[in-house]
Amino acid sequence: MDYTTGIVVDNRYLYHDPGFGHPESPDRLLAVYAMLDEDDMRGRFLRIEPRMAETGEIAMVHSRSYIEHVASTAGVPCTVLDFDTVTSADSWDTALLAAGGLMNAVDRVMEGIVKNAFAFVRPPGHHAETGGSGGFCIFNNVAIAAEHARKKHGIKRILIVDWDLHHGNGTQHFFYEDSGVLYFSTHQSPFYPGTGSIGEMGRGEGEGYTINVPLPRGQGDADYLWIFRKLLEPTAIAYRPELVLISAGFDICRGDSLGAMNVSEHGLAGMTRVLMNIADKCCEGRLAATLEGGYNLSMLARSAKAVLKEMRGDTRISNEELDKISEKAEETTRQVANNVIQRARRYWPL
Ligand SMILES: [Zn+2]
């Protein structure tokens, strides 16, 4: 049987335990895995087996001293890496499995075995910097997977879209002077981690290849879709990525315990569709998503389901519908996005 969409799922992702009451708990994946077992989901996706990343692969992004520091936490019941990020005895192995899971997803997409894939892994990654952890993240899974895709598959241009509630400081910084990755982030601002202002657009060779859209709280489907259609889509198509990666955070969902955004599962399916349209136009649909945030368990599961149905083609939101939804975008959203568009015009045909 041919599958359109692959999923990375493994019970070992539950073993990283940042401690009682921590929002980034194993329950998040338990909720997603239960959803994947529902009647309309079970058996419809290719199960992609994860693997442990090798230390040399982690070192494509992270410093040797930081990797050794994380390795030293193996078997230790509790180590505080930073204020937000705590390891348990199995966190080192789980973090290697998270990076390796997304790399395997990227490989299956690049090989054409599936058109697209979603890695339901933890710990998340986009806050992890070269030399340290941050915001529940140990290794930067999406940055490692992008480096892996370039090295193994020889591709020259990767689009990373980070729709998580928070700015992906680690990912931005790693590719800041690099035109081989276009990093696009929407995020709540002002908010953790404090980076991601409109003026941060890359440096040197990477100038113009970082685009940030910092947003006030309360943004919903119309706002995100307006930004995706008017700003992201034309920029991305001009860039012609050979692979699209998504740092998929579901903490922008309505009712999230950390965020104050108002996106529905239908909105997330629409955002996915815009990215699929970009991938269809530029790179035969090649797209891989990885789980970042998302702390309201029922919204996380429902939204991930809507995203997967769109990825698989069970639902297919038309451009007409996307534009109809986005017509209701708030004036403040349009102002922020238009500020970004003014600056991005120096580099992109907007
Ligand atoms: Zn987040």
- Band of pLDDT at residue 2, cut at 50, 70 and 90: confident
How many angstroms separate the CA atoms of 102 and 118, rounded? 8
- Band of pLDDT at residue 1, cut at 50, 70 and 90: low
Tell me, in angstroms, the distance from the centre of ligand 1 to residue 113's CA: 30
Tell me, in angstroms, the distance from the centre of ligand 1 to residue 261's CA: 11
Give residue 292's domain range. 5-344
Of 171, 151, 154, the closest CA to residue 248 belongs to 171
Give the residue-averaged pLDDT of 121-143.
Answer: 98
Total domains present in the chain: 1
Tell me, in angstroms, the distance from the centre of ligand 1 to residue 104's CA: 23
- The active-site residue, picked from 127, 148, 166, 167, is 127
> Cα dist. 29→291, 296, 307 in Å?
10, 12, 15
Which residues place a Cβ less than 5 A from the ion ligand 1? 164-166, 249, 251, 293
Tell me, in angstroms, the distance from the centre of ligand 1 to residue 165's CA: 5
- Answer whether residue 11 shows pLDDT above 90: yes
Encode pLDDT of 209-268 as tens digits.
999 999 999 999 999 999 999 999 999 999 999 999 999 999 999 999 999 999 999 999
Q: Are 256 and 299 in contact (CB under 8 A)?
A: yes
DSSP string, 77-146: S-EESSSS-EE-TTHHHHHHHHHHHHHHHHHHHHTTSSSEEEE--SS--TT-BTTB-BTTBSS-HHHHHH
Could you tell me if residue 291 is inside a domain? yes
Q: Which long-range contacts (CB under 8 A, 24 or more apart) does 43-47 make?
A: 44/3, 44/5, 44/312, 45/3, 45/5, 45/6, 45/7, 45/308, 45/312, 46/3, 46/5, 46/6, 46/7, 46/108, 46/113, 46/114, 46/117, 47/6, 47/7, 47/9
Encode pLDDT of 309-321 as tens digits.
999 999 999 999 9
Question: 3-state class of 295 per DSSP?
Answer: coil
Buried/exposed code over 249-269 (b: 16+ C-beta within 10 A; e: otherwise): bbbbbbebebbebbbbbbbbb
Tell me, in angstroms, the distance from the centre of ligand 1 to residue 294's CA: 7
- CATH number of the structural domain spanning residue 58: 3.40.800.20
Tell me, in angstroms, the distance from the centre of ligand 1 to residue 17's CA: 18
pLDDT of residue 160: 99
Average pLDDT value for the chain: 98
Please name the residue ranges forming H helices in 20-87: 27-36, 55-58, 64-71
Encode pLDDT of 144-183 as tens digits.
999 999 999 999 999 999 999 999 999 999 999 999 999 9
pLDDT of residue 94: 98
Strands (DSSP E) found in the chain: 5-8, 46-48, 79-80, 86-87, 116-119, 158-162, 181-188, 210-215, 243-248, 287-291
Could you tell me if residue 33 is inside a domain? yes
Encode pLDDT of 50-82 as tens digits.
999 999 999 999 999 999 999 999 999 999 999
Task: Please state the pTM of the whole predicted model.
Answer: 0.98
- Answer whether residue 87 shows pLDDT above 80: yes
Q: Are 57 and 141 in contact (CB under 8 A)?
A: no
User: Would you call 166 a catalytic residue per the annotation?
Assistant: no
Could you tell me if residue 350 is inside a domain? no
Q: Are 6 and 45 in contact (CB under 8 A)?
A: yes
Could you tell me if residue 349 is inside a domain? no
Residue reference for tokens 């040197």: 204
